[in-house]
Amino acid sequence: MKLTERSGIRQVAAAVSGALANANIRAVLTGGGCASIYTDGLYKSVDLDYVLQSAVTQSRLDEAMATAGFERRANQYFHPRAPLYVEFPPGPLGIGRDHQIVPIELKIGDSVVVALSSTDSCRDRLAAFLHWRDQQNLKTAVDIALRNEVDLPGIRSWCASEGVPQGFDEFIRNLEIARSRRKKKPPRKR
């Protein structure tokens, strides 16, 4: 897949995931890039974060990323035309104290992107809200839950295990407000 200045997050994720898979490197898309996909671009990310699932040498990772047109500068990978850069934050893959994450495979065109599930992406954004009171991440978690099926009882249980059960209540209040606003909007004219 050839990336250009107009390539969106889905195309960049597909190209990077394909290059990693071709090199037998297993990595999971997380963070804001994953949230951007689940919110259909409402949340804008400038990068894609992949957590490696096995030991990989720097040279092997550089070679794999080069096949997608990316070049490493310090700890980030840049493409001469694509508008997003790629990072590989240290593992293990986890959300708060939960390290029992089971990634899913997202189909993007003919490509497969190993990523957080919609529930885990929602929890990932909620983690920043719960621990740092980051309102933007609360909004993003709500946007993910509005557009995707998420395991609300599982999220409630996770919030309690993180020691912030009241955070779930605030998340649900915001989700209900967003759902009611969505119902009141008239259909778009075409």
Say whether pTM exceeds 0.85.
yes
Whole-number pLDDT of residue 183 = 81
Has residue 4 been placed in a domain? no
Give pLDDT tens digits for 52-110: 998 999 999 999 999 999 999 999 999 999 999 999 999 999 999 999 999 999 999 99
Sign of the dihedral defined by the CA atoms of residues 84, 150, 18, 53, in that order: positive
159 and 76 inside one domain:
no
Q: How far apart are CA 138 and CA 135, in angstroms?
A: 5
Can you say whether residue 157 is alpha, beta or left, with left for phi > 0 and alpha for psi between -120 and 50 degrees? alpha
Give pLDDT tens digits for 24-36: 999 999 999 999 9
CATH code (residue 79) = 3.30.460
> Residue 41's domain spans which residues?
9-115
Q: Is the peptide bond before 186 cis (omega within 30 degrees of 0)?
A: no
Q: Which residue, among 132, 117, 115, 127, has the nearest Cα to 162 in the 3D structure?
A: 127
107 and 166 inside one domain:
no
Has residue 1 been placed in a domain? no
124 and 43 inside one domain:
no
Q: How far apart are CA 176 and CA 85, in angstroms?
A: 35
Looking at residue 150, its amino acid is V
